[in-house]
Amino acid sequence: MQIIYETRFCEYSNNVELGKFDAKLNKRTSDISDLKRNDKNYTEWYRLTNVRLDSITNTSDRIESKFQAQNDDMEDLSILNINDQLRILKDHVLEVINNTNQFATHLAKSDSERQKLKNEIISNVEQTHKNYEPHMPRHSTPLTEIKPSVKGSLTPFLRKNPICAKDILKLEEWQTFSGEGEYNHIDFIRKIEIFQEDFHIADEIIVGNLNSLFTRTAKKRYYKMRLDYGKHDWPWWKCEIITKWANNSWRFKMENAF
């Protein structure tokens, strides 16, 4: 009886231990299954993460490629704009050079024509004065025949040189010249030449009256020329008048007038 009891007790004990062992084994098995499942989930997460990283990398590469292409296009466009601007600038410079050359040619031609006209006038004046004694009229009367009122108004030159003072025109009968507006310097010179020829007026009288015959702009220029170049005879002043006022604008106006 005792043996049976001990045997059953041993069996019970063994069953209890076996049950505990089975429980531990089942738990270990469950833990291992959980680990495998977790490991599988981790592997999937890792794979998905790598996929996302690859996608991000590819997207970044595409963006960089597009940006580089746009940058290249902008550089090409910038180069084209610079080339266009350089071409426009070159055309403008060539146009300025061409206009400058044309103006220089026109100016040289104008100076040549002016010098030619000046030489012709000087030649005519010299030819005219060859027939006279320098600054002396062909007909003169002694100073004793001059009335006191006239004699008192004579210049030092006239006091030293016999001249027919009664034939000298009064100053108010001479034509004045302003050099402004619708001026005609040729007519001014021509009338002085006529007076000189008709009344045998010496150059000194003409030059001495220029201060009164010139007005406004012409008078200002006369003062400046007198300060810069000093005293000169009438032919010199005549050439200066033509040089100053026989410009292209005056020629154009005279051509249109006829």
| 138 pLDDT more than 70 | no
- Asked whether 166 and 150 are in contact (CB, 8 A), the reply is yes
Q: Which amino acid is at 137?
A: P
Q: Where are the alpha helices (DSSP H) in 130-233?
A: 148-151, 156-160, 185-199, 203-213, 216-229
Please write the tens of the pLDDT for every residue from 84-132.
Answer: 888 888 887 888 888 877 777 777 777 777 777 777 777 766 665 555 4
pLDDT band at 212 (very low <50, low <70, confident <90, very high): confident
Q: What's the chain's average pLDDT? A: 70
- Over residues 203-227, the mean pLDDT reads 87
- Asked whether 208 and 243 are in contact (CB, 8 A), the reply is no
> What distance in Å separates the CA atoms of residue 25 and residue 42, rounded to the nearest whole number?
25
- Over residues 229-236, the mean pLDDT reads 90
| 161 pLDDT more than 60 | no
Q: What is the pLDDT of residue 82?
A: 81
Domain ranges of the chain: 1-109, 132-257
Please write the tens of the pLDDT for every residue from 13-45.
Answer: 656 666 666 676 676 677 666 666 666 666 777
